[in-house]
Structure 1
Amino acid sequence: MNETLSKMLGGKQGAIGLGILAALILVLLPLGLDPFRLGLVGKYLTYAFVAVSLVLLWGNGGILSLGQGIFFGLGGYAMAMFLKLEASDPVSTAIQSTPGIPDFMDWNQLTALPWFWEPFKSLPLTILAILVIPTLFAFLIGYAMFKRRVGGVYFAIITQAIALILSILIIGQQGYTGGVNGITDLKTLLGWDIRTDSAKYVLYYVNAALLIGCILLSRYVLSSKFGMLLLAMRDKEERVRFSGYDVSNFKIFIFCLSAMISAIGGAMFTLQVGFMSPTFIGIVPSIEMVIFAAVGGRMSLIGAVYGTLLVNAGKTMFSETYPEMWLFLMGGLFIAVVMFFPNGLAGIYDKYAKKVPFLRKLSEESPKAKKADAVPTPVETKEAGVKA
């Protein structure tokens, strides 16, 4: 196993953990669930992109963002704009006052497609926008905040405020964004009907594969020298700064990377669910996404996925079974996790896995694998030249 692949897999223990997750979401769940339930799981997995990004940003970087819904929503809206333009061809919109533009624009008396919608007629440009626009927006926020050493609770509050402002802006510009209803009635992707059961299965597997790819990328980043410095920065930021490193650049980079991963999840959400609305950009969804990472374990990439699945499955089950009490039940679940399992599901695994002989032996053989699923947590590292 070469060095790059080893870093991405996280050694034997990390590879086994990733293999179990892959088997669950790629084999067991598709075989055991009907198309409707599998569609729900696919939606949950789109949220897992954000949870994984928070493990990078919050768990390893010590930067709590309460506005990750911003980037999830930007990625989702970019994909929704492409799909909406494809669904708004002149033939399908012949009854409108202005054929060829989205219906909500016609309702708001727009007579031409806005200039910023034009690039979304192309799928390659749309994919580029999904990756670049949220990353650029994160860079602007990060540069403005981190270069001025704004962090901690102040950064969390500012990202929360930006999420609220953006959701209000989208709702207010109804003629350009669809307003509170969002962008709906999305039907095809390059002529392929995304509403059929077969399409749902294909999109589910694409979504799962992209999620695993993001986990591998995150592991590679965290197992590099940059990952070591990120952990050192989280624990002793001033020492890293006094060692000659520009801490703000590290923060900006990891913030931008987490934004890009969140945006991919948003784009896949639009494809799987068939709409995008401002309700996924505001404060509440952003806080829920932090909870997903906390329940799974904020230092565990794989744990973040399990946390997302557990919380959302519980939310669905409680709301279906106890429609009047599900909020209290979910609140009780969160309180129980925080009180008894402060390190989330990953902490439970770390605590009890050592009692299983095979896993204990594996952990002893692969000491480099016990990190945020593979990332060293050194107090001192010669390579980085920093004492954390």
Structure 2
Amino acid sequence: MKKLTKLNPWYSLIGIAVFAVLLLAVSPNVLSMHWISNLGKYSAWAIVAVGIGLAWGRGGMLVMGQGVFFALGAYSMAMHLTLETAGPDATPTFMILYDPLAAVPAFWEPFRSDWFTVLAIVLLPVIVAGVLGYALFKRRVKGAYFAILTQALAVALAVLVSSTIRETGGDTGLSDFKYFFGYVLDDDANKLMIYMITVGLLIVCMLVSWQLYRSRFGELLLATRDAEDRVRFLGYDPANTKLVAFVIAAVMASIGGAMFVPLVGIITPQEIGASASILFIAGVALGGRASLFGPVLGAMAIGWGQSSLASSWPEGWIYILGLLFIVVTLFLPNGLASLVSRMWTTVRTTAGRRSKADRRLAA
């Protein structure tokens, strides 16, 4: 039993390797470009889900406002692609439609730079999540209050974006991108490249989570989730542990949002509001928030359902999603990933009984 426990993390690493081969080597050779683009979109959502699995599954923080950090990455990328499409020192078309004499807002200008955009995608969520997390965790805000506050921020940001039509495109959003860091987006080879980058980032995020789960920090995060007062009594500050996990989850959400934009070709307030944040949580809950692969597979499943079933059967999709939640909550509170552990436990128990029986017969 002890040997199996020590090997379990390496089984996860092998699973990540197999998952990488399927997405990076097999899928591009067997799927059409349409499904490659869809799989890339699901992978972008899965990046967000990996962070939620760390913060919620391991840290016990119900982060229902990941749309905020998704928006930071998505709109940073969208502003850069919009300016790149418009050309050097040119004003984006949507701004001219509202005001022919409009000038590019001052906060847009830095996003003409490739490096500034990449840094903004990483550093903006660090700053926002750091300030927000410090304010909440130091005041020991947790549970339902934490979830409501984070979701309220997602709603507020979506309303703000909708109301700033001349700066962000409002409800119409930002779209009609032609270039991605100098590469033409209409070229299938470049679309495949963006897909490979997205999947590569997903694999990196999974490896980061895998390392954190088996590290001293991962053990402390679990202890903080299960016995916060006891951790504080032992001399550790649970607020700092939560803050680190919260910031890492925010960065992953921002990266997912940044890659979502060139894959889909548009970003609107609908993709960053409360409903989007709830869908992220839904995928993680369905797959299994406490596992490594559960959030990824759950997010991909929810993404497929939203883009496929929701478009052909929009009313029925809501009922299917609700039914899935009821079934998972009642019979699989740890998500679909718990089925694997149950099957593995059953196999080990059966094998143990057979070995004992064989020993008795041999004796």
Both proteins in one fold, TM over 0.5: yes
1:104 to 94, 104, 108: 94
1:39-72: CA deviation from partner (whole Å, max 9, x where unpaired): 1111011000111011110010011111001101
What is the aligned partner in structure 1 of residue 3 from structure 2?
Answer: none
- Structure 1 residue 319 displacement after superposition: 3.1
What is the aligned partner in structure 2 of residue 113 from structure 1?
Answer: 104
What is the aligned partner in structure 2 of residue 181 from structure 1?
Answer: 172
Matched, 1:278 2:269: yes
> For the structure 1 residues 154 and 111, does the alpha-carbon distance in structure 2 shift closer, same or farther, using more than 3 Å as the test?
same
1:177-202: CA deviation from partner (whole Å, max 9, x where unpaired): 11111111111023311222221211
Matched, 1:42 2:40: yes
Structure number with higher helix proportion:
2
Residues in 2 aligned to 1:316 and 1:341: alpha-carbon distance in whole angstroms: 25
Q: Is the 8 A contact 1:55 1:301 kept in 2?
A: yes
Instruction: Please state whether the residue corresponding to 1:113 is helix, strand or coil.
Output: coil
Question: Mean Cα displacement is larger for which, 191-200 or 34-43?
Answer: 191-200
Residues in 2 aligned to 1:189 and 1:323: alpha-carbon distance in whole angstroms: 32
1:129 to 120, 139, 154: 120
Corresponding letter in the other structure for 1:83? L
2:245 to 246, 250, 254: 254
What is the aligned partner in structure 2 of residue 84 from structure 1?
Answer: 82
What is the aligned partner in structure 2 of residue 198 from structure 1?
Answer: 189
Residues in 2 aligned to 1:71 and 1:320: alpha-carbon distance in whole angstroms: 26
Instruction: Please state whether the residue corresponding to 1:325 is helix, strand or coil.
Output: helix
What is the aligned partner in structure 2 of residue 352 from structure 1?
Answer: 343
The alignment's C-alpha RMSD in Å is 2.0
Instruction: Please state whether the residue corresponding to 1:148 is helix, strand or coil.
Output: coil
Residues in 1 aligned to 2:18 and 2:334: alpha-carbon distance in whole angstroms: 20
> For the structure 1 residues 321 and 282, does the alpha-carbon distance in structure 2 shift closer, same or farther, using more than 3 Å as the test?
closer
Residues in 2 aligned to 1:27 and 1:189: alpha-carbon distance in whole angstroms: 23
What is the aligned partner in structure 2 of residue 219 from structure 1?
Answer: 210
- Structure 1 residue 308 displacement after superposition: 1.4
Structure 2, unmatched stretches of 5+, are 1-5, 353-363
- Structure 1 residue 26 displacement after superposition: 2.0
- Structure 1 residue 356 displacement after superposition: 5.2
1:245 to 230, 236, 245: 236
Instruction: Please state whether the residue corresponding to 2:333 is helix, strand or coil.
Output: coil
Matched, 1:24 2:22: yes
Residues in 1 aligned to 2:193 and 2:261: alpha-carbon distance in whole angstroms: 14
Instruction: Please state whether the residue corresponding to 2:91 is helix, strand or coil.
Output: coil
Residues in 2 aligned to 1:156 and 1:82: alpha-carbon distance in whole angstroms: 31
Residues in 1 aligned to 2:156 and 2:94: alpha-carbon distance in whole angstroms: 22
Q: Is the 8 A contact 1:187 1:274 kept in 2?
A: no
- Structure 1 residue 323 displacement after superposition: 4.7
Q: Is the 8 A contact 1:53 1:262 kept in 2?
A: yes
Q: Is the 8 A contact 2:287 2:295 kept in 1?
A: yes
Residues in 2 aligned to 1:255 and 1:320: alpha-carbon distance in whole angstroms: 33
- Structure 1 residue 10 displacement after superposition: 6.5
Question: Mean Cα displacement is larger for which, 50-59 or 306-315?
Answer: 306-315
Residues in 1 aligned to 2:287 and 2:71: alpha-carbon distance in whole angstroms: 22
Instruction: Please state whether the residue corresponding to 2:152 is helix, strand or coil.
Output: helix
Q: Is the 8 A contact 1:21 1:302 kept in 2?
A: no
What is the aligned partner in structure 2 of residue 263 from structure 1?
Answer: 254
Corresponding letter in the other structure for 2:264? V
1:312 to 276, 285, 303: 303
Structure 1, unmatched stretches of 5+, are 1-6, 91-98, 362-388
* Identity level (%): 43
Residues in 1 aligned to 2:306 and 2:93: alpha-carbon distance in whole angstroms: 33
Q: Is the 8 A contact 2:13 2:210 kept in 1?
A: no
- 4+ long deviations beyond 6 Å: none
What is the aligned partner in structure 2 of residue 343 from structure 1?
Answer: 334
1:269-291: CA deviation from partner (whole Å, max 9, x where unpaired): 01211121111111001011001
Q: Is the 8 A contact 1:222 1:228 kept in 2?
A: yes
What is the aligned partner in structure 2 of residue 69 from structure 1?
Answer: 67
Residues in 1 aligned to 2:162 and 2:293: alpha-carbon distance in whole angstroms: 35
Instruction: Please state whether the residue corresponding to 1:300 is helix, strand or coil.
Output: coil
Residues in 2 aligned to 1:100 and 1:317: alpha-carbon distance in whole angstroms: 38
Corresponding letter in the other structure for 1:221? L
Residues in 1 aligned to 2:43 and 2:85: alpha-carbon distance in whole angstroms: 26
Residues in 1 aligned to 2:296 and 2:114: alpha-carbon distance in whole angstroms: 28
What is the aligned partner in structure 2 of residue 56 from structure 1?
Answer: 54
What is the aligned partner in structure 2 of residue 380 from structure 1?
Answer: none
Residues in 1 aligned to 2:8 and 2:195: alpha-carbon distance in whole angstroms: 25
What is the aligned partner in structure 2 of residue 386 from structure 1?
Answer: none
What is the aligned partner in structure 2 of residue 157 from structure 1?
Answer: 148
Residues in 1 aligned to 2:112 and 2:342: alpha-carbon distance in whole angstroms: 52
Corresponding letter in the other structure for 1:203? I
What is the aligned partner in structure 1 of residue 12 from structure 2?
Answer: 14
- Structure 1 residue 321 displacement after superposition: 5.0
Q: Is the 8 A contact 2:172 2:268 kept in 1?
A: yes
Residues in 2 aligned to 1:283 and 1:141: alpha-carbon distance in whole angstroms: 18
- Structure 1 residue 34 displacement after superposition: 1.1
